[in-house]
Amino acid sequence: MAKLSTLIIIFAIVASAHTTALWLKRATPRTVMVESEKVFCSFLPKTYREEIRNSEDDAITFCTEANPVNAPEAKKFPNGFIKSANFAKGKEFVQITGTIDRTKYKLKKSDRGVCKGFKNFVNLVEPDINTFCIRCCTDTKKCKTGKSTKGCAVVVPGDYS
């Protein structure tokens, strides 16, 4: 009987350690980076054919090289996925713009977010401060789509009480 109790305790410790390790792995922030037109990362769905709009909670990092120093555990973009990359750097920003071949990761042409009845929209969720915002617009000047990192209060001013 003592051996059985010892085995149960050992099993419980191992199971607890395994669960903690999984939690820590999931809690690790996903990282993208932009260093140059040759070294950058972005998020993609974790599996081929998965729609981008359905993968926001579990998207993974893909980079121009696997496991770069600044984005550990990142995968390499599929060959031919990045067609062009244009790097720009200013006083307070870096950016990469370019084109992809969606077929190299089997992304659907129809995979596009929309706000019914409008041409443009911005949708942010900020779990760190428990806020969200959505704005649908007919004119791009009314949707600050290029400022999502500024947060809801800047992108969609309103009452967040």
Same domain, 48 and 77: yes
pLDDT tens digits for range 57-86: 788 889 999 988 888 889 999 999 999 998
* Residue position matching structure tokens 């010892």: 6
In a domain, 76, yes or no: yes
Separation in Å, CA 64 to CA 42, 75, 83, 105, 153:
9, 8, 12, 14, 33
From the list 4, 67, 58, 59, the residue with the least C-alpha distance to 39 is 67
User: Distance from CA of residue 116 to its chain's centroid?
Assistant: 24
Say what the pLDDT of residue 29 is.
53
What are the backbone dihedrals phi and psi of residue 101, each rounded to the nearest 5 degrees, phi first?
A: -110, 95
- 127: containing domain: 120-155
d(CA 1, CA 30): 46
Same domain, 51 and 90: yes
Residue 2 has pLDDT above 70, yes or no: no
pLDDT tens digits for range 6-32: 333 333 333 333 333 333 344 345 778
Q: For the chain, how many structural domains are there in total?
A: 2
* Residue position matching structure tokens 């060959």: 79
Residue 46 has pLDDT above 60, yes or no: yes
In a domain, 78, yes or no: yes
* Residue position matching structure tokens 């209060």: 153
